[in-house]
């Protein structure tokens, strides 16, 4: 059955909430086998496994178990994005979220497989893997005299492919936490900069982003690159453990593997009233800043709740 790629917000929601369960019979969906998202004959949304595949009249897409590779946020996960006021105005003006290209995010380890001083080790591992793959591939037996050369060629292709993949990957970074972070206010909106934080819930953010773009969300995994490699797949979700304080959930868009991507970022349309549960003003901003944020939002004909930082709550003794 060919897939139509048509995802209504209701179908997206069903996929999120059903997660690893068949929406028809309730069975646990086995890992590693694609599930099916689509619509039944009555045009109602269904998300099913092989068990109830026959109920699908229109297949929107196969759903692969990518989220088993790293932790996927739950629909209720609270996400924050701290930013200076000019970035917020850009979001209002564009009614879109900017996803910078991965190599523009400022972290040289974005998408890295490992630390440079361990590249030899990684290469040796890959070459061994490729030599075995060449020798055990089905078909007529392979001449072994150029085995090393063939493995080297595959390795170079693999490296080239990896670089291109990063240049075609676009990322939106969010901080996962139930509460505000004083540290992140200081980092992204230091006292001399007026700033805000957008608070959202993962399910709302995901539903609010334009359906035409497939955004893959996941928790960033923090590792010590001196001891670990980030692996072959999903390495855009691995960062150095020194960045653990970011507690990041990121949305990732991969746009094919074109050779010369000259886009430095993508603007992804977003339904702001759906996505934004609150615009929180910086605890360091002047007392008039909250009303400026409110009136600015109104000028863009959008209705978003603006609340002061709860770091300003007063103690009693």
Contact set with Zn ion (CB under 5 A): 22, 24-25, 27, 51-52
Question: Running DSSP on this structure, what letter comes out for residue 57?
Answer: S
Nearest to Zn ion of 41, 313 (CB atom): 41
Nearest to Zn ion of 29, 189 (CB atom): 29
Nearest to Zn ion of 1, 183 (CB atom): 1
Minimum CB separation from Zn ion for residue 5, in Å?
A: 23
Of 45, 1, 54, residue with least CA distance to 23? 45
Burial annotation 48-65 (CB, 10 A radius, 16+ → b, else e):
bbebbbebbeebbbebee
Residues 21, 108: Cα–Cα separation, whole Å: 39
Nearest to Zn ion of 22, 79 (CB atom): 22
Neighbours of 303 (CB within 10 A): 10
Tell me the backbone φ, ψ of residue 241, rounded to 5 degrees.
Answer: -65, -15
Nearest to Zn ion of 55, 281 (CB atom): 55
Nearest to Zn ion of 17, 233 (CB atom): 17
Q: Which residues make beta-bridge pairs with 201?
A: 78
Minimum CB separation from Zn ion for residue 40, in Å?
A: 12
Both tokens assigned to 289: 């800043």
Nearest to Zn ion of 23, 168 (CB atom): 23
CA dist 65 → 35, 45, 80 (Å): 8, 19, 26
Q: Which positions ≥6 away from 268 have C-beta within 8 Å?
A: 96, 97, 98, 99, 172, 209, 210, 213, 215, 253
Minimum CB separation from Zn ion for residue 62, in Å?
A: 15
Minimum CB separation from Zn ion for residue 64, in Å?
A: 17
Of 207, 202, 173, 214, residue with least CA distance to 87? 173
Side-chain half-sphere exposure of 70, counting CA atoms within 13 A: 21
Q: Answer left, alpha or beta for residue 173, where phi above 0 means left and psi between -120 and 50 means alpha.
A: beta
Minimum CB separation from Zn ion for residue 48, in Å?
A: 5
Both tokens assigned to 196: 């805000």
Minimum CB separation from Zn ion for residue 73, in Å?
A: 25
Minimum CB separation from Zn ion for residue 11, in Å?
A: 16
Nearest to Zn ion of 35, 304 (CB atom): 35
Burial annotation 164-175 (CB, 10 A radius, 16+ → b, else e):
bbbbbbbbbbbb
Minimum CB separation from Zn ion for residue 28, in Å?
A: 10
């Amino acid at each position: 059955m060919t897939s139509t790629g048509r995802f209504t917000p209701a179908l997206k929601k069903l996929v999120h909430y059903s997660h690893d369960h068949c929406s028809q019979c309730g069975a646990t969906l086995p890992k590693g086998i694609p599930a099916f998202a689509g619509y039944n004959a009555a045009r109602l949304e269904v998300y099913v496994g092989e068990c109830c595949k026959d109920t699908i009249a229109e297949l929107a897409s196969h759903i692969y178990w990518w989220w088993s590779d790293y932790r996927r946020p739950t629909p209720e996960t609270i996400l924050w994005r701290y930013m200076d006021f000019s970035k917020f105005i850009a979001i209002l003006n564009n009614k879109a979220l900017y996803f910078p290209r991965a190599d523009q995010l400022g972290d040289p380890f974005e998408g890295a497989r490992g630390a440079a001083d361990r590249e030899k080790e990684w290469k040796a591992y890959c070459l061994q893997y490729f030599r075995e793959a060449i020798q055990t591939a089905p078909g007529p037996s392979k001449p072994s005299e150029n085995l090393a050369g063939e493995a080297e060629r595959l390795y170079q292709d693999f490296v080239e492919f990896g670089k291109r993949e990063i240049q075609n990957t676009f990322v939106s970074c969010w901080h996962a936490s139930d509460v505000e972070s004083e540290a992140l206010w200081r980092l992204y909106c230091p006292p001399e900069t007026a700033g805000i934080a957008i608070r959202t819930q993962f399910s709302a953010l995901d539903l609010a982003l334009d359906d035409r773009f497939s955004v893959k969300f996941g928790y960033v995994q923090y590792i010590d690159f001196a001891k670990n490699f980030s692996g072959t797949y999903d390495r855009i979700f691995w960062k150095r453990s020194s960045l653990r304080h970011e507690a990041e959930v990121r949305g990732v868009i991969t746009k094919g593997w074109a050779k010369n991507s000259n886009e430095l970022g993508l603007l992804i349309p977003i339904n702001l009233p759906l996505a934004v549960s609150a615009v929180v003003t910086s605890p360091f901003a002047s007392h008039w800043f909250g009303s400026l944020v409110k009136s600015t939002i109104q000028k863009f004909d959008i209705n978003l709740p603006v609340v002061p930082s709860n770091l300003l709550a007063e103690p009693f003794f």
